[in-house]
Amino acid sequence: MSKSAISKAERIKARRAREEVNIFARMPAAYAASRSQAAKFLQRAGGLSVVEWRVLWDLSEAGPLSIREMASIQRVDHSQLSRALPGMRRKGFVTMERDEADGRQMNVALTEAGRAAYDKTAPIMKKRREGLRRAFSAEELEQFAGFFDRLEEFLRQPVEDLLAEEKTP
Amino acid sequence: MSKSAISKAERIKARRAREEVNIFARMPAAYAASRSQAAKFLQRAGGLSVVEWRVLWDLSEAGPLSIREMASIQRVDHSQLSRALPGMRRKGFVTMERDEADGRQMNVALTEAGRAAYDKTAPIMKKRREGLRRAFSAEELEQFAGFFDRLEEFLRQPVEDLLAEEKTP
DNA sequence: ATTTTATACGTGACAAGTCATATTAATTTT
DNA sequence: AAAATTAATATGACTTGTCACGTATAAAAT
């Protein structure tokens, strides 16, 4: 009954196959799945949000930090932290104080409750990373990270430059 | 004047270095950069949103599709398309009709205006993919995609299973 | 034939990310 | 010292993504 020589199912399959090797198309899905898995682990571990977990982890590993410093470590926009931190202070996880030497900066530090939340969550999240290391060898993870480095470098190139470049000969 | 043996700058550097090889931590940043670059290309090309572009591309390559089929190709939740499509219909890019054979499905098809928007945007987005192919060889892209396959497989594992597994011996 | 179950879509509520802009404080120029 | 620039944070507006749940239709089981 199909009007076209190629069936709809085949067209979909072909389209899906092409998208499979399109890195740009793969990233949103992989990222979404990762975030979703992280949320599930965090739910198990006590109910922190992803942003909260990252903050506690950074503060716990690197000591008191300013918002900018955390944003740089996490490679996210500072606004995300600006928004999340007041809630974390309300929950008693962190203290925020204006820096004495530089009145623009906020010093964000872990409280005892914050440390406790970290200690409760960390072993579960460690299991997650261990799981990943069963799925990928150390060399592969390094290679994967290297791909991300190069991808980010490409993504940072100004759009004009990319549009101007000649087609590869 | 520092109270600790290790300076704050060094602590931050160490923390950053650890996060650099943490795939989970790299993904949000890489994805955000990719989305941002895509948005810039699309801005140049006429102002489509990322979701709109993906819809036009799919319809143009695979013909009329249901919402579910598009969601499957794009690996996104159907709700995203459910929400975006009425706007695209309003703009005249697509038509949406309930399927005659199966009253649950919507048939989404490209209009002439939709085809025109696609034709205008596609060459610019092609340049983007060409740029990526200058940054990565075909083999590398394949390997990169393969890593995504395995990562997604890992991310799909039930959380219970991962928490139950023994530490690698 | 009826009842149960599965599927497709729509929608509300939310998380996580962006960018642009305002505000205040620090630093550099003049 | 005053003016201009730069930097850190806060906040509004927006996009992309989720999940959960309701509704209607279709398919399967009894």
Q: List the domain range (segments joined by +) for residue B68.
A: 9-133
Whether A30 is in a domain gets the answer: no
pLDDT of B164 reads: 83
pLDDT of A167 reads: 54
pLDDT of B158 reads: 83
Q: How far lies B91's CA from each of A38, A154, B105, in Å?
A: 37, 33, 21
Interface mutation vs chain A, best among B67, B76, B147, most A CBs within 10 Å: B147
Is some CB atom of chain A closer than 8 A to the CB atom of B143?
A: yes
Question: Residue with CA nearest C10 C1'?
Answer: B82
Q: Is the pLDDT confidence value at B135 over 80?
A: yes
CATH of residue A91's domain is 1.10.10.10
- Nearest to A130, CA basis, from A114, A141, A118, A120: A141
> What is the domain count for chain B?
1
Query: What ranges make up the beta strands (E) of chain A?
Result: 94-98, 106-110
pLDDT of B2 reads: 44
Mean pLDDT of A15-21: 91
**Helix B67-74 and helix B50-62, axial crossing angle in degrees, nearest 10:** 110
Is some CB atom of chain B closer than 8 A to the CB atom of A76?
A: yes
Nearest CB among A11, A29, A148 relative to B26 is that of: A148
- Nearest to A118, CA basis, from A105, A109, A106: A109
Whether A165 is in a domain gets the answer: no
Mean pLDDT of chain A: 91
- The gap between A159 CA and D20 C1' (Å) is 39
pLDDT confidence band for A2 (50 / 70 / 90) = very low
Closest approach of chain A CAs to the CA of B41, in angstroms? 7
Whether B88 is in a domain gets the answer: yes
B106 DSSP assignment: E
Q: Is the pLDDT confidence value at A72 over 50?
A: yes
Q: Is the pLDDT confidence value at A165 over 80?
A: no
pLDDT of A1 reads: 45
Whether B27 is in a domain gets the answer: yes
Whether A144 is in a domain gets the answer: yes
**Helix A138-156 and helix B138-156, axial crossing angle in degrees, nearest 10:** 120
Q: Is the pLDDT confidence value at B73 over 60?
A: yes
Whether A2 is in a domain gets the answer: no
Under a CB-based contact definition with an 8 Å cutoff, are residues B152 and A32 in contact?
Answer: no
Spatial distance between the Cα atoms of B83 and B85, rounded to a whole number of angstroms: 6
Q: How far lies B131's CA from each of A71, A122, B45, B48, B135, in Å?
A: 29, 40, 16, 20, 7
Spatial distance between the Cα atoms of B6 and B40, rounded to a whole number of angstroms: 42
Q: How many Cα atoms occupy the beta-carbon half-sphere of B30 within 13 Å?
A: 29
Is some CB atom of chain B closer than 8 A to the CB atom of A13?
A: no
